[in-house]
Structure 1
């Protein structure tokens, strides 16, 4: 249950990050278009996926490790 909650937080962060990045890319593209500089928008999907995977892995480990039975036995 704790691991699923951590992954849902990562998913919400991914959506908010993608929204902020998309808004930034569109605003930069439109500002360049006002200067008559036409360019394409490039999104490095491999880097995006690797960062998302690393965040999900670290969030899951950080959430599950303190909640594991072996960790609970150390404090008793």
Structure 2
């Protein structure tokens, strides 16, 4: 996989976080874009550097969400 710069990674990571939040609820009760911005850099520096895609990183992150409240109506 091609290494993305941090901005490119964050855009794709955030998009996937939004997709996952529609299925699983908001991550830890936080708005998905705000949440993604707070954690994307850590994934970019660690797992993406090991060859993980932004989508794989987001999927990994979502595996830790537990019964997050759904987005407000």
TM-score, structure 2 as length reference: 0.33
Larger Rg: 1
Bigger RCO of structures 1 and 2 (CA < 8 A, at least 6 apart): 1
Select the structure that is richer in helix. 1
